[in-house]
Structure 1
Amino acid sequence: MKQREVIEKAKFADAHIERNGLNPGPAAVPWLTVASLAVVMAYADGFWMMSLRGAVGAIERTQEPFVSWLRESTLVLPVFVVAVLGALALALHLFGPEPRKWSTVLTALLVAAAGTGVGIALITVSSAYDYRLQSDQLQLIGSMSHTCPQDGCVALQEQASLGLQMRAVVYGSGMLLVTNLVLVGWVVAIRGGRLDVSSIRRRTARLGKDHRRIFLAATLFGSAAIHAAVIPEHLSEWAAAGMFFAILAAAQLALGLLSLGRRHRALFPAVAGASIVPLVLWLCSRTVGLPFGPAAGTLEPAGLADIAAGVLELGALLAAGALLRDKDQLPRRPLVSAHIRSLTVVAAIAVGVLGLAGTAPAWFGNPDSSGHESVTVPHQ
């Protein structure tokens, strides 16, 4: 009863402030601006990455370039959303919410730089993967050839391939920078020379949901999706492992849904258990090997999917710990801006998407994969 009275007083105070125009509401993320900038840079940078791959990449990865461009650009779109959010958060901190001509120019430069950084990282990873495939192919050819004594020809060819990939990254970085500068300027021009770093959210009587709980749900949903994607593979290898991942995915999905509902303090210890158990098993399998199962004592190398799941489970553990420390049941005033809060949620979504894609190597242009195993090894 006392808690209800406090909430009613808070609602009355917010309504009074809004009626008298004393405070129009807190700053919010301009999602239209974020989405438009992230989309144009993600697909334009993806085009250049596909072009470089077609010019100097491994022949195995140059099949169906349009499908690869559409698929991989969509895959990394959440990463570009994170980059744009980070740039706008920095601009909001440096220049304030009111757009001016000079601050708009600097904000546009920050956004273009953030997108270019993501694009350079992507083409660097893609080029490194191409070089590995080309090196493996050269080693195979050298092993069947008797015209190159002491593998001298293979070493020279590998060196030439490495130099070609490095030049591709350098030239590609310049093309990405110019492209992103033009695209961000084009978006700003379409919006009438304005680049909003924040928008005003009207106050309502309804109390906002704690972003820590939204972040917790995002981490749980992401890890549940990754675990669910590897169930068929583990069932074919060891039925007990497949059942474990099925139960773990169902538990994390249920906990994610519950975390968005009413707060129950018993929920957070359950989240901690659903995160610690797979983390401990993963660390054991990658350091000393599991003491049971058909591959007992065998060390497994880390892959993209299991690393992403581990990061998400660690995030869920930290979020659950932070929520468990709260003594009161009322939402607290956020300590950081809406941009930073949204940044953490979108980052969790991006990690989940990348990890889920990591369970299907065919998404990365690997023609020898069926799409049902991790990039390097089965998850966990």
Structure 2
Amino acid sequence: MIGNPKPAGADIEHSGPNPGREAVPWLTVASLAVVMAYADGFWMMSLRGAVGAIERTQEPFVGWLRESTLVLPVFVVAVLGALTLALHLFGPEPRKWSAVLTALLVVAAGTGVGIALIAVSSAYDYRLQSDQLQLIGSMSHTCAQHGCVTLQEQASLGLQMRAVGYGSGMLLVTNLVLVGWVVAIRGGRLDVSSIRRRTAPGTGSDHRRLFLAAALFGSAAIHAAVVPEHLREWAAAGVFFAILAAAQLALGLLLLGRRRRAVLLAVAAASVVPLALWLGSRTVGLPFGPTAGAPELAGLADIAAGVLELGALVAAVGLLRDKGQHPRRPPASAHIRSLPVVAAIAVGVLGLAGTAPAWFGNPDGSGNAAVTAPHD
């Protein structure tokens, strides 16, 4: 007998112990967060170049790339919060007016974060300018007698406050245009929900593999960027970094396929070796090479690479110890599990900017001492 047919969607609504649930689409969160983070970072650097302390106006492109990437996770959290609120207020399928309000919530969240960043940057600029004025005043008795330092500090404070005001307006307009542009590219839709089944066995491992691959790709990019510098200093070091970058890139690609124990063991080895060499070179110095026995300075690039390699080592060991057993408690949401992947990408971009190659700074790639500290 055929029996009574099941209503449409019954398999989705009642799928045994793992029923479907609504979740904010990660692609929507990422696309909106990226465009606002880097656009707002551009305005912050522009204001800093106009009214900021002179110490912070060097290499604006590197500063924009580094700081925008650093605050990208904050924009991700802000957009995620706005879309989650819209999902609770308007439901998974908002009507036209609800979609407009959702876009405005995203704009408000991103603009709020941008204004806070500009305010913090301006406050720091004012502090640096005030210290400089105090130093000049202490060297000029005439200025100290007439209180011109106080007047100059008041003028500097007023200038920074006006910069925050103007910047807030620019951020609001920019974010309105960008969010509307993203929505237009997506066909006039702003998805706030996608039905997802609860995490099946192995999903947590998939997120750890994505994080591991992102950490390997970021570390490989940093190592590849410093190969020319090390080839000039010591050919053996340049060859080592070239081989290490190629190995990490290959391992990351293999991890995107099927997980194998041999690949995970290779990842652990490719993380432990450069970490050990880096720790030795920064503490007691390597026993070989042109600077044998002399500790080297730590820079942004090598610290970022070390963080990525440490994260890759921890993730590889965790996957090697995974016996397929999964906790009974409900797993974390897909967004929370994906945040480490975003963090790994951000650290990789910061480290790559810290290498200061020719296309990031001056044509000769010299940069400043804080950025071009030797790596590994």
TM (normalized to structure 2)?
A: 0.69
User: Match for residue 113 of structure 1?
Assistant: 112
Alpha-carbon distance in structure 1 between the residues aligned to 2:42 and 2:159: 14
Deviation at 1:256, TM superposition (A): 0.8
User: Match for residue 82 of structure 1?
Assistant: 73
Deviation at 1:321, TM superposition (A): 2.1
Aligned in 2, Cα 1:306/1:116: closer, same or farther, shift over 3 Å? Answer: farther
Alpha-carbon distance in structure 2 between the residues aligned to 1:306 and 1:160: 44
Alpha-carbon distance in structure 2 between the residues aligned to 1:313 and 1:278: 8
User: Match for residue 32 of structure 2?
Assistant: 36
User: Match for residue 319 of structure 1?
Assistant: 315
> Is 1:20 matched up with 2:31?
no
Identity of aligned residues (%): 49
Alpha-carbon distance in structure 2 between the residues aligned to 1:225 and 1:109: 35
**Residues 219 and 352 of structure 1 are in contact (CA less than 8 Å); yes or no, is this contact kept in structure 2?**
yes
User: Match for residue 375 of structure 1?
Assistant: 371
**Residues 48 and 57 of structure 2 are in contact (CA less than 8 Å); yes or no, is this contact kept in structure 1?**
no
Aligned in 2, Cα 1:110/1:343: closer, same or farther, shift over 3 Å? Answer: same
1:71-150 matched pairs, under 5 angstroms: 73=64, 78-90=69-81, 97-99=88-90, 109-118=108-117
Deviation at 1:36, TM superposition (A): 3.2
240, 245, 262: which one aligns with 1:244 = 240
Aligned in 2, Cα 1:43/1:123: closer, same or farther, shift over 3 Å? Answer: farther
> Is 1:271 matched up with 2:270?
no
Q: Deviations over 1:54-77 (max 9, x none)?
A: 4445499579xxxx56x7656655
Alpha-carbon distance in structure 1 between the residues aligned to 2:228 and 2:171: 41
> Is 1:219 matched up with 2:215?
yes
Aligned in 2, Cα 1:246/1:368: closer, same or farther, shift over 3 Å? Answer: closer
**Residues 43 and 74 of structure 1 are in contact (CA less than 8 Å); yes or no, is this contact kept in structure 2?**
no
Alpha-carbon distance in structure 2 between the residues aligned to 1:361 and 1:174: 35
Deviation at 1:307, TM superposition (A): 1.1
Aligned in 2, Cα 1:309/1:189: closer, same or farther, shift over 3 Å? Answer: closer
Alpha-carbon distance in structure 1 between the residues aligned to 2:215 and 2:10: 38
Q: Deviations over 1:72-102 (max 9, x none)?
A: 656655445422222244457778645488x
Alpha-carbon distance in structure 2 between the residues aligned to 1:379 and 1:237: 12
Aligned in 2, Cα 1:45/1:60: closer, same or farther, shift over 3 Å? Answer: closer
Deviation at 1:169, TM superposition (A): 6.5
Larger displacement relative to structure 2 (214-223 or 50-59): 50-59
Q: With CA pairs under 8 Å and 6+ residues apart, which has the higher RCO, 1 or 2?
A: 1
Aligned in 2, Cα 1:56/1:116: closer, same or farther, shift over 3 Å? Answer: closer
User: Match for residue 12 of structure 1?
Assistant: none
Letter in 2 for 1:87: A
Deviation at 1:334, TM superposition (A): 7.8
Deviation at 1:160, TM superposition (A): 12
Number of residue pairs matched by the alignment: 339
282, 286, 297: which one aligns with 2:282 = 286
Aligned in 2, Cα 1:161/1:309: closer, same or farther, shift over 3 Å? Answer: farther
Unaligned runs of 5+ in 1: 1-15, 136-147
TM (normalized to structure 1)?
A: 0.68
Aligned in 2, Cα 1:113/1:245: closer, same or farther, shift over 3 Å? Answer: same
Larger displacement relative to structure 2 (82-91 or 272-281): 82-91
Deviation at 1:212, TM superposition (A): 0.9
Alpha-carbon distance in structure 2 between the residues aligned to 1:59 and 1:114: 24
